[in-house]
Amino acid sequence: MQRPSPHPGFYARKAAMAATVVGATMALTLPTVATSHAAPLNGEKDSYRLGEGHMGISAEKETAGKERRTVGPQDTSGVQGIDVSHYQGAINWGSVKGAGIEFAWIKATEGTSYKDPQFSANYLGAHDNGVIRGAYHFARPDASSGAAQADFFAKSGGAWSADNLTLPGVLDIENGPSSQCHGLSQAAMRTWISDFYDTYKARTSRDVVIYTTANWWNTCTGNWTGMSAKSPLWVAHWTTGSPTIPAGFPSWTVWQYTDQGNIGGINPVDRDKFNGSRDRLLALANNTTLAKPRVDVP
């Protein structure tokens, strides 16, 4: 039987598909330009897909239009750190350590299925170069329970060991992909956070660190004070002087003060400051009483 002739547009589509395949192949084989991003290129948008969550989504929105892209590091005194994910690409952790970075938190997971593709390399690289490091989980309260996400995190990089180089895990909780509070009421959000905390504590014996902004916490939890005696606070506020902290927390333990750092060839990268000495940072890592943050924040 004679096969019917193709539709007139068939060959045009085939040619377009072939061009696409060739272009994609060339993109994979050509040398990669050495660039890195603190956030995805669409970081200013309100929506994001699974895997695109990153520290600073809320801070980006809150500082939009304030010339933040031209502002460099604000407070490089004291104990300095960074936070990274796959957006920074391959990292030379020896250069990071050589630049004076003492600690780093590294994205491990998001939701209950996404694992950051650079986590293992970053986690090992930091450890091998003497950078005190920990893992962070980007929360998706609209997608599944806090308990389910904490369990996934603890099993996928968020575990802890008293080896002098491992910090407790971080719950990165900020703007949702379609609404600021992920579609949850303040009461429901407080329950979600409590469930995450309880499960993570049961899996690792550690209090999870909470990363957020003052605006997000106050809006989405209703100025909740229920975590202030449990979780160390990591506040994001890209500013000079000192950060504004969420209601209910007496002080900050870590401050993310800019997303425009340049450390060890990583540019841009989020920069962080620890509230205390290196001994206090080690105490946080090793779960000793010295880990309690100062209240006399400058």
83 is catalytic: yes
Q: Which residues of 44-61 are buried (b: 16+ CB within 10 A; e: fewer)?
A: eeeebeebbbbbbbbbbb
Q: In terms of Cα–Cα distance, which of 123, 201, 147, 211 is closest to 174?
A: 211
172 is catalytic: yes
Round to whole Å and give the CA distance between 8 and 10.
Answer: 6
Count Cβ atoms within 10 A of the Cβ of residue 153 and give its class: 0-12 exposed, 13-18 middle, 19 or more buried. Answer: buried
Q: What are phi and psi of 48, to 5 degrees?
A: -155, 155
Q: Given 62, 151, 172, 272, which residue is catalytic?
A: 172
198 is catalytic: no
Give me 191's structure tokens. 């329950």
Beta bridge partners, 255, equal 235, 273
Q: Given 60, 174, 259, 272, which residue is catalytic?
A: 174
Q: What are phi and psi of 260, to 5 degrees?
A: -120, 35
Q: Given 52, 83, 207, 272, which residue is catalytic?
A: 83
Active-site residues, by number, are 83, 172, 174
